Amino acid sequence: MVFGFGKKKTVENPVEPSHYQKEILLQDIPSIIKEIEGPRVLNILQEAKQLKTEIELNQKNIHKIILHLESDNLKLDDVDKNLKIVGIRGKDAVVSTIKKETSIKLTNIERYDDVIEINNEVNQILKRIGDILGLHTRVMHVFARKYADKLKEEIAKLAQNRNILQRLINEQESFKSSSFTILENIKKIDALRIEEKQKNQRITEIINEKDETSNTITRLEQEISELRSKSEYREFLEIKKKIGLLSGEKQEIKSKVSSQFIKISRPLSKYSYVSSFDKPMKKLMEEFILDPYEVISIQNKDALVEILQATAKSVVAGNVSVKDSDKSIESIEETIERLDEFLKLKNAYEKKISDLEINLDVFNVKVLETKEKENEKARTNLIDLQTSNKKLEREISENKAQLDTAKLELERDLTHLNNTKVIIKI
């Protein structure tokens, strides 16, 4: 005989919901759960108290068996001395442990936590009794068989009562777990509803913004059209066209200047490294080398002549090495002589441009440019609003799908919990 009194696996039979259907409001669910839980807990407490009485009776019965065992010499005087010692020690150990365990006073049941506590206490009692009997199985079977059988029978009753107690706890813990899942699902549904409401509100705002933006675009396009239809604007465009045509003349002048300065670029560049000019003159020389057309002016003429003459002197003195010094000096002198020609061409071109640009004031183009920029910005904003609107509509559709799924899960869990088909009104 083996003394084993472990927990028996409790299997909950699925509850078939009744055909009765009940509609409830989402906000009423927490109070409904409390209404269901209250009687359940009271019922558990009542059953647990009855089980405690039976368990205490089991303890007393086991205690009586142990007392009888304690007073029985088990005819150990008739056996071998060594066996007698083993028998006595085994008997004393079993008696001592089980007397102690059956004398334990169980927790008084006032609330659900006390039920859990008693269950733990009974588990420990069964474990320690099982351990000591298992340790001395041979002694009990050989010398105290009748007591072993009685103990097994009574401990089995104790284990059975413990199993019933465990089932009550398992059912309540399952109820609490289901309740927690339901309450969490309610929070999820509330969050989804708030989110959907906020997104719908945002869509309403976007629709209003789209209408305002479309009206703004219509207004701006009308204003732009009116500005472009003015005779002053047509005159402005003609002037801009003439200015554009003059760009070819500028390129011709720049080409003439560049062609001349290419001839002296080598000596001029080399002189820039050895010149003793101050910083302003050095800076002017660098700009002169990079873009002679832009630097040539009446204000700069004397300084440019000074730079060119100093370059020529440096070539003559041999400070600047070139392949043909005579030709370089000739080109520098030619450049100095042509400065006035270039100045005249440049000034004539700039005067034409200046005269035309003065006439551009016939139309305030900045007003048109400002409205065009505003129109472009409004169109970009309208596209962004349309994109945001589509995104929100997609998110709301996904939100509704999640909400429907959460509602179905909630109805399923409540139906199982309440044993009644539940329809939730949101």
Q: What is the pLDDT of residues 388-397, one digit of tens each?
A: 999 999 999 9
Same domain, 261 and 174: no
Same domain, 125 and 250: no
Average pLDDT over residues 72-93: 81
Nearest to 351 by CA among 265, 200, 250, 277: 250
Using pLDDT thresholds of 50, 70 and 90, give the confidence band for residue 15: very low
Q: Is 318 left (phi over 0), alpha (psi -120 to 50) or beta?
A: left
For the chain, the domain total comes to 2
Residue 423: its H or E element = strand 420-425
**Tokens representing 414?**
């409540």
Does some domain include residue 399?
no
**Tokens representing 291?**
């873009």
Between 320 and 287, name the one with better pLDDT.
287
Average pLDDT over residues 282-310: 90
Does some domain include residue 7?
no
Same domain, 37 and 132: yes
Q: What angle do CA 289, 294, 296 make, to 5 degrees?
A: 80
Same domain, 161 and 243: no
Q: How many whole angstroms separate alpha carbon 293 and alpha carbon 258? A: 8
Q: How many whole angstroms separate alpha carbon 424 and alpha carbon 426? A: 6
Nearest to 404 by CA among 200, 193, 199, 201: 193
Does some domain include residue 372?
no
Tens digit of pLDDT for each residue in 25-48? 888 889 888 988 899 999 999 999
Task: Give, in order, the Cα–Cα distances in Å from 160 to each of 109, 129, 140, 189, 368.
Answer: 19, 15, 23, 43, 95
> 292: which residues sit within 8 A by CB, 6+ positions away?
257, 258, 261
pLDDT at 10 over 70: no
Same domain, 169 and 235: no
Does some domain include residue 422?
no
Q: Measure the CA dihedral 112/117/119/124, to 10°.
A: 180
Does some domain include residue 310?
yes
Average pLDDT over residues 77-103: 85
- What CATH number has the domain bearing residue 56? 1.20.120
Using pLDDT thresholds of 50, 70 and 90, give the confidence band for residue 20: low
- Supply the pLDDT for residue 19: 53
Same domain, 161 and 60: yes
Q: What type of residue is 5? A: F
Does some domain include residue 420?
no
Using pLDDT thresholds of 50, 70 and 90, give the confidence band for residue 170: very high
- Supply the pLDDT for residue 4: 43
- Supply the pLDDT for residue 208: 96
Average pLDDT over residues 349-360: 87
Same domain, 104 and 246: no
Tens digit of pLDDT for each residue in 209-254? 999 999 999 999 999 999 999 999 999 899 889 888 888 888 899 8
Same domain, 158 and 242: no
pLDDT at 373 over 50: yes
Using pLDDT thresholds of 50, 70 and 90, give the confidence band for residue 202: very high
Same domain, 238 and 358: yes
**Tokens representing 86?**
């083993």
Q: How many whole angstroms separate alpha carbon 115 and alpha carbon 210? A: 65
Using pLDDT thresholds of 50, 70 and 90, give the confidence band for residue 319: confident
Same domain, 100 and 169: yes
Does some domain include residue 275?
yes
Task: Give, in order, the Cα–Cα distances in Å from 122 to each of 104, 148, 161, 331.
Answer: 10, 20, 9, 119
Backbone dihedral angles phi then psi of residue 319, each to the nearest 5 degrees:
-75, -25
User: CB–CB of 207/75 below 8 Å?
Assistant: no
- Supply the pLDDT for residue 2: 39
pLDDT at 165 over 90: yes
For CA atoms 379, 382, 388, 389, the dihedral sign is negative
Q: Where is the domain boundary, 136, 159, 178?
A: 178
Q: How many whole angstroms separate alpha carbon 249 and alpha carbon 338? A: 18
Backbone dihedral angles phi then psi of residue 154, each to the nearest 5 degrees:
-75, -35
Lowest average pLDDT, out of 4-13, 116-125, 386-395, goes to 4-13
Does some domain include residue 140?
yes
- Supply the pLDDT for residue 270: 85
Q: Please state, rounded to an integer, the average pLDDT across all residues of the chain.
A: 88
Average pLDDT over residues 162-187: 93
Same domain, 124 and 266: no
Domain hosting residue 349, numbered range: 231-362
Q: Where is the domain boundary, 163, 178, 193?
A: 178
Q: Where is the domain boundary, 314, 342, 362?
A: 362
174-177 LR contacts (CB < 8 Å, sep 24+): 174/12, 175/36, 175/37, 175/40, 175/417
Using pLDDT thresholds of 50, 70 and 90, give the confidence band for residue 142: confident
Around Cβ 276, how many Cβ atoms within 10 Å?
Answer: 7
Nearest to 163 by CA among 3, 59, 8, 45: 8
Around Cβ 295, how many Cβ atoms within 10 Å?
Answer: 17
- Supply the pLDDT for residue 144: 85
pLDDT at 6 over 50: no
Same domain, 35 and 165: yes
pLDDT at 333 over 80: yes
Average pLDDT over residues 66-80: 83
